[in-house]
Chains A and B, each alone.
Chain A
């Protein structure tokens, strides 16, 4: 088994965050993307954020990543204010966004190079390649990889920095159903292995129930938090169990798809 360097996980707190965007050619002021968002994630927890498209999920994630700044409110990691992007908050997008000009190995190394610590930490590269099962592909270029493999490289690239919080923006959204379920287990394995705090944005309710400790439901527009639901099911979870399906219809109901939810639980 791979020796792991367990990073100290961190708590994330979002307090009354509001963010709007300027609308280019409208005389009207601006479009409010998210409003009055408050929640917190305990260190080492895996929390999901679900909601329909356009409810500001990705906006919120960019704010936490430090790639954007809120109009008002505060975002804190371990009670320290987020002031910009940092290797402490890794981000994995739906599109793996691997650097196409670098091999798999160099992509995974990118964070170490960027922080100027490649020399001291070179030995970890092999560990992370093995961790995501890509040892044999070290010198392949990204366009040779399948979607699932690319996403594993992206996960390894983010994890090699030992982020305190790992932000996942629909990381499995572009994968086919089977690969997605396999990757859900993979991400869970990485999480159980490393106990990094994870914040997963998804629009796949099954994925959210299957993976997370808690689900935050957002509604549009502007994005607001509708409610939070704790998922107390034991892992590994059975996607077909009665309690799983009950949660599923409960969440669908909150998102106003109750009719369809009725069919499922019937």
Chain B
């Protein structure tokens, strides 16, 4: 995510910075009003990827390392052949993850309203 943010900022179109300079912009304006807004789409890609990766890591870590959490619960229920509980846990996980994703999508649509109709993703 940090990498994507950094590359988003360093890939700010030079012409946006040139325009801002000829409009009388100082350093603060260039950073906060040009470079960061220009990097926001990249920041969101980073957020999506980061969220997916961290959820995956969390579930794997839970099922091997600790004695709590849904990942642990799945393997524990599996051990007792209680498949109803396994599926219940899996459904809860899926519901939780998609809720978080949907929320993030909502936030993105709000923040990146200026991209609406410009880019499909």
- Chain A residues engaging chain B, CB cutoff 8 angstroms: 65-67, 85-87, 89-91, 93, 95, 97, 99-103, 110-111, 113-115, 141-144, 157-158, 161
Contacts and interface: CB of A to CB of B under 8 A. Distances in A.
Most chain A beta-carbon neighbours within 10 Å: one of B23, B25, B113: B23
A67 B23 contact: no
In the A-B complex, the 9 residue pairs with the closest CB atoms = A87-B24, A85-B21, A111-B23, A114-B25, A91-B22, A143-B118, A101-B37, A115-B24, A141-B114
Nearest to A86: B24
A67 B37 contact: no
Contacts of B79: none
B40 A67 contact: no
Of the four ranges (under 10, 10 to 19, 20 to 34, 35 or more), the interface on chain B belongs to: 20 to 34
A248 B114 CA distance: 44
B23 A87 contact: yes
Interface in B22-52: 22-26, 29, 33-34, 37-38, 40
Given A99-B34, A141-B114, A114 B18 contact: no
A99 B26 contact: no
B20 interface: yes
Contacts of B22: 65-67, 85-87, 89-91, 158
B18 A67 contact: yes
A91 B18 contact: yes
Given A97-B15, A99-B16, A143-B117, 14 more contacts: A65-B22, A66-B21, A66-B22, A67-B22, A85-B18, A86-B24, A87-B24, A100-B114, A101-B37, A113-B29, A114-B26, A115-B23, A141-B114, A142-B114
Interface SS of chain B: helix, strand, loop or mixed?
helix
A100 B23 CA distance: 16
Contacts of A85: 18, 21-22
A157 B25 CA distance: 13
A91 B13 CA distance: 16
A111 B114 contact: no
B64 interface: no
A144 B26 CA distance: 29
A157 B40 CA distance: 23
A149 to B, nearest CB: 15
Nearest to A96: B19
B40 A101 contact: yes
22 contacts: A85-B18, A85-B21, A86-B24, A90-B23, A93-B19, A95-B15, A97-B15, A97-B16, A97-B19, A100-B114, A101-B37, A101-B40, A102-B37, A114-B20, A114-B25, A141-B118, A142-B114, A143-B118, A144-B117, A158-B22, A158-B23, A161-B23
Nearest to B29: A114
Nearest to B24: A87
B68 interface: no
Nearest to A163: B22
A21 B35 CA distance: 26
B57 interface: no
Given A95-B15, A97-B15, A114-B29, A157 B117 contact: no
Contacts of A101: 37-38, 40, 114
Nearest to B41: A101
A21 to B, nearest CB: 15
Residue with the greatest number of chain B CB neighbours at <10 A, chosen from A66, A95, A103, A114: A114
Nearest to B40: A101
B115 interface: yes
A143 B113 CA distance: 11
Contacts of A115: 23-24
A99 B37 contact: yes
